[in-house]
Amino acid sequence: MYMSTIRKSVLALPLLLLSSVFGASVAEAGMLYWNLFNFEEESSVGSVFVTYATADDMLNDANRLSVVSPDGPGSSENNIIGSGSDGDIFWNVFNFEEESSTSAVFATYGTSDDMLNDANRLSVVSPDGPGSSENNIVGSGSDGESYWNVFNFEEESSVSAVFATYGSNDDMLNDANRLSVVSPTGPGSSENNIIGSGSDGSLYWNLFNFEGESSVSAVFATYITLEDMLNDSNRLSVVSPNGPGSSENNIVGTGAFAMNVSFPVSAPNSLVLLLFGLAVMGGVRHTKMKAGSWSRPLG
């Protein structure tokens, strides 16, 4: 039994190695981060997404990978004020600026590229939460397990933002079945100016920006847990981005998601392993033949 198991394993080894020689790849998790830029107090200029490879680059608006101007139906791209992903579904949050009487709207997508370009929408959802709360959704996010919306009255900086958490993407989009409602209490009155948030599954952050102006830079605060982010407590860092021109003044949203990146296996190294596997298989065969000769009767 033991020798049979070894022989089966050795016979399978060359097949596995062959697959690595002829085009196999290894999947490795990577991250994509983005900031969303939109001029405040106007609804005529389109929003812009900027992508990054690391959280540090996103927080500082440095080493941009791409700059994308979405081109959705009508002039909808002018009113994108938030976005997010749970790693499977992507979404944008649309809300008219300078008013609190029209409901926010979510559009969902199957890929990050579709989200950035506002193309190939999967669904358009108008949340219907308690009272008229859906009118004041300014951001949303997910860490892959929990979901949340950020509520903040527009055109004022004296009322605190509020987080509502949910157990599913569908509940977040519809503002239904809330798990908790949290009013952050950060330093000073900073919680009044939370307009976005995000997570890559291990790091959490809030985005602060004074409403009704485009001359003061946005600020990020980072946290180690979802609870700390929701309460704006135990900050790890406070970062003032310093991008091209004064672009950092107009950051209104942010997000991240984990993606799988495939790397092809090096053929020369795999070929060496293949030859080694064939040699081992030959050695087993030679051993079997010798064992057979030992078992022959004498004479």
Residue 288 has pLDDT above 50, yes or no: no
Confidence band of 269 (pLDDT split at 50, 70, 90): low
Model confidence band, residue 117 (pLDDT cutoffs 50, 70, 90): very high
For tokens 């004498």, what's the residue? 298
Give residue-wise pLDDT tens across range 171-196.
999 999 999 999 999 887 677 789 99
Q: What is the mean pLDDT of the chain?
A: 78
pLDDT per residue as tens digits for the range 57-72: 999 999 999 999 999 8
Domain limits, the chain:
2-24+266-294, 27-261
Q: For residues 257 and 188, give the distance between their C-alpha atoms in angstroms, rounded to a whole number.
A: 31
User: How high is the pLDDT of residue 25?
Assistant: 38
Q: Is 165 buried (19+), middle (13-18) or exposed (0-12) by CB count in 10 A?
A: middle
Q: What are phi and psi of 75, to 5 degrees?
A: -115, 30
Buried b (16+ CB within 10 A) or exposed e, 13-29: bbeebeebbeeeeeeee
Per-residue confidence band for 97, with pLDDT thresholds at 50, 70 and 90 = low
Pairing of strands 123-125, 25-37: unpaired
Q: Please give the average per-residue pLDDT across 128-139, as a whole number.
A: 81
Class of domain 27-261 (CATH, top level): mainly beta
pLDDT exceeds 60 at position 99? no
H or E stretch including 272?
Answer: helix 267-294
Residue 129 and residue 173 in contact, taking contact as beta carbons nearer than 8 Å? no
